[in-house]
Amino acid sequence: MKRVKWFVVGAGLMFVQACVAPTWYACRQIAKDSTKEYKYTDKQAAIGCERAVLKKVANYNEKIGKWELNRKVISVSDQMAVLKDRADALNKFLSYDDPELARFIDWFPGLRKGITKEEKITLWLINRMLYMDSYNKFTDLVGELPKEFLGKEAEYFFEYGRQAYSMRMLYPLRDVFKIPFSASYLEAAKEREILVLVDTFTVFDKQSYGKKITDLRDPNEFSWEQIQRGWRIDSYKITPDLDKPADNIAQYIEVYRIDGNARKESKPAIRGFVATGGNSVSVLVMDYDKEGESGFGSPDTVERIFLPLVTGRELYADESYRRRVLEPLYEKPQNNEQNPKRHRPLDVPVYIAIAPMGKKIDVEIWERGDWKLPFGYSYRTLAQNLKIVYDKPKTPQDQELENKEKLKKLLVLIREFKENNQTAVIEYWVPKAEYMNRDIVDSFALSNTLRIRRRGLVAEEADVMRFGRYIKNIDYRYGGKWFRLEDEDGDGVFEKRRMIADPTSGESSVNWGNYALGE
């Protein structure tokens, strides 16, 4: 409790400093006239601005002959801005988005834990101030509640008026959430028992691949998050004449989040009210926090909509309303700790292999899956270059054919794609069966054409796709790193992926043995 108390005092002093400094600076810049038209010197401007700032933040008490702090000078929204700036700074400290800053914080034992505690205090204070700020916006739209509906809590917290900030709003002696979010017309209808439920609409949807989550360390790595969303929308109408109302327009709406079994949360996520002078719902009070989360039941924002609603089901039927009003109930994480950037990235696995002294060892660690390139590319838009790799003789007969008759055998066909004069993609093709015999008399590669002549046949000249059976490996550069995909069985699906060294900087690490077998 002491910690919260002193933080509250600090928050108040923080605001006064933040408020006065910009006012003072702006005043000095305006009052100082370089053209000498007003003949204000720097000292005169300073004295005048001191007086202006003093009259803004203080009142002179003639009875005691002293200046007293003007309690109404600090508004609720001003104090909210100060607390939000502090929360944003703490959130950046606790994020792993900046690896260098994250390592610095984790280097000090207990520092991350301490910052997390400060953040929890700040968010607790913001939760109270957000309630007051939302209440002011709401009341400006639907009108003031009579004192008999407000209760004693409002009188206690509105010490200097509804819009003015009071330190009582932050101090946890009284419950600020007891101040009712309601409208006079609605409370009167409840008392007269003429508020009737006239429309109920329930909908649920499920997407297996709803949200793509990118890995913080590896921009090429991602995972899919399933999305399940459901809403129950209840519309109420004030009906003095229960037998025959003049229209079917609702005057109050409640929207609940529901689970797959149609169970709704204990409190509505959205409540819709009629604005002053209106006859249909146009003011929405929204709570993005789910049940069980900090802040559940406390409004996060108040929105004014300008297309009148007949009933609440229009919030789902109209795509613009659905995207702007309903879907954010599931998409806006108000709890910072749920943000993926706040989770420590998993360390890259380290593999160790022991080999006899002097023996080279190559450890290939593949990831299995259904891999695709994270970008598109085309021979029509990128410069390309073709290469031919020949198979070495493995038998005395092959050696004789190569030495005496100069006959070669294709092993791999390579096609490189370049973007901005840098290699971006390398394809490794397995040749078709008829070109994998040791009967190649002559062959050469141009930038985009291969010319191959087999013994006893006419030379053929065409693109790599004419001579290649399928792409077995693809190397590609992405996010400053190189990756290799492999198709194990020639079905067009790359079942394996691993990170590799830059293939353009030295000898290729492709396993040519697989190609020699025609696999």
pTM surpassing 0.75? Answer: no
What is the C-alpha to C-alpha distance for residues 95 and 89, in angstroms, rounded to an integer?
10
The answer to whether position 157 is within a domain reads: no
User: Same domain, yes or no, for 314 and 381?
Assistant: no
Q: Between 77 and 12, name the one with better pLDDT.
A: 77
Q: Which long-range contacts (CB under 8 A, 24 or more apart) does 375-381 make?
A: 375/478, 377/417, 377/424, 377/425, 379/415, 379/417, 379/448, 379/463
Check the CA dihedral 18-24-25-30 and report its sign: positive
165 within 8 A of 78, measured Cβ to Cβ:
yes
Whether 496 shows a pLDDT value over 50: the answer reads yes
Q: Between 286 and 362, name the one with better pLDDT.
A: 286
pLDDT of residue 340: 63
pLDDT grade for 493, boundaries at 50, 70 and 90: confident
pLDDT of residue 427: 92
pLDDT of residue 36: 56
Whether 18 shows a pLDDT value over 50: the answer reads no
User: Same domain, yes or no, for 413 and 337?
Assistant: no
pLDDT of residue 9: 42
Neighbours of 264 (CB within 10 A): 19
The answer to whether position 78 is within a domain reads: yes
pLDDT of residue 419: 82
Least confident interval from 81-95, 159-173, 272-286 = 159-173
Q: What is the DSSP string of 232-247?
A: EEEEEEE-SSSS--S-
User: Same domain, yes or no, for 477 and 381?
Assistant: yes
Task: Name the residue range of residue 305's domain.
Answer: 182-341
User: Same domain, yes or no, for 326 and 440?
Assistant: no
Q: What percent of the chain has pLDDT over 70?
A: 77
User: Same domain, yes or no, for 290 and 411?
Assistant: no
pLDDT of residue 20: 44
pLDDT grade for 362, boundaries at 50, 70 and 90: low
Least confident interval from 6-15, 149-158, 183-192 = 6-15
226 within 8 A of 240, measured Cβ to Cβ:
no
User: Same domain, yes or no, for 188 and 335?
Assistant: yes
The answer to whether position 450 is within a domain reads: yes
Whether 68 shows a pLDDT value over 60: the answer reads yes
Mean pLDDT for 355-377 is 73
The answer to whether position 152 is within a domain reads: no
User: Same domain, yes or no, for 420 and 502?
Assistant: yes
pLDDT of residue 197: 93
Report how many domains make up the chain: 3
Query: C-alpha angle 436/442/448, rounded to 5°?
Result: 85
User: Same domain, yes or no, for 288 and 403?
Assistant: no
pLDDT of residue 364: 66
Mean pLDDT for 417-431 is 88
> Final residue of a domain: which of 341, 375, 399?
341
273's enclosing H/E stretch is strand 270-274
DSSP tally for the chain: helices H, then strands E? 14, 18
pLDDT grade for 314, boundaries at 50, 70 and 90: very high
pLDDT of residue 7: 43
The answer to whether position 149 is within a domain reads: no
The answer to whether position 15 is within a domain reads: yes
User: Same domain, yes or no, for 193 and 288?
Assistant: yes
Q: What is the mean pLDDT of the chain?
A: 80
User: Same domain, yes or no, for 385 and 312?
Assistant: no
Q: Between 225 and 484, name the one with better pLDDT.
A: 484
User: Same domain, yes or no, for 378 and 275?
Assistant: no
The answer to whether position 158 is within a domain reads: no
The answer to whether position 347 is within a domain reads: no
User: Same domain, yes or no, for 371 and 324?
Assistant: no
Least confident interval from 56-65, 95-104, 193-202 = 56-65
176 within 8 A of 124, measured Cβ to Cβ:
no
